[in-house]
Amino acid sequence: MKKAYIGLGSNLGDRLTNLIQSLEILLAEPQIFLEKVSSVYETEPVGGPEQGPFLNACALLLTDLNPERLLQKMLSVEKKMKRVRNERWGPRLIDLDLLIYEEVTIHTPFLELPHPRLAERDFVLIPLADIAPDLQIPNQDKKVMEIIKQRGQTKSVIIYQQQNWFKF
């Protein structure tokens, strides 16, 4: 089984329920297992139009799916939940991002690993640190906690729900 770290986000509707439902649908896949889940954080949107705050979390999955197939499954979850993609970085019911898959690096039109903006986003780094503070990000010389410390004070990332929000 391979380790895959994913990011989850929602800023429309019942945001926490959206995160829970997305994981439930994803974990219904027979080749995807949940190892760990971070706390949930409320965060200010980055880029895009004016919109409400997000809830964000990260999860560590175990899978024997390859990265491309895992991403397809994640996009299928977004589709089942009726995510609409009207504008880049716009509000969304659910957003699932494949952040890291083992030590794999990929640069295709369909998938980039590690996620290209991972080290720039507190709303990903803080929850990722909950589940993997010593994770070495592929193609970088730093671990998750080292990047957070280097970035300094985090902007608008506030604990919303402790790690017990998802029962598995």
Measure the CA–CA gap between 105 and 167, rounded to whole angstroms.
31
Out of 14, 15, 83, 85, the active site residue is 83
Residue 117 appears among annotated catalytic residues: no
- Total domain count, the chain: 1
Residue 123 belongs to a domain with what CATH number? 3.30.70.560
Structural domain harbouring 14? 2-165
**Given this model, what pLDDT does residue 167 score?**
87
Find the catalytic residue in 15, 85, 92, 121.
92
Any residues with CB less than 8 A from the CB of 139 and at least 6 apart, and which? 105, 114
Query: What would the mean pLDDT of 139-145 be, rounded to a whole number?
Result: 90
pLDDT band at 88 (very low <50, low <70, confident <90, very high): low
pTM across the whole model = 0.94
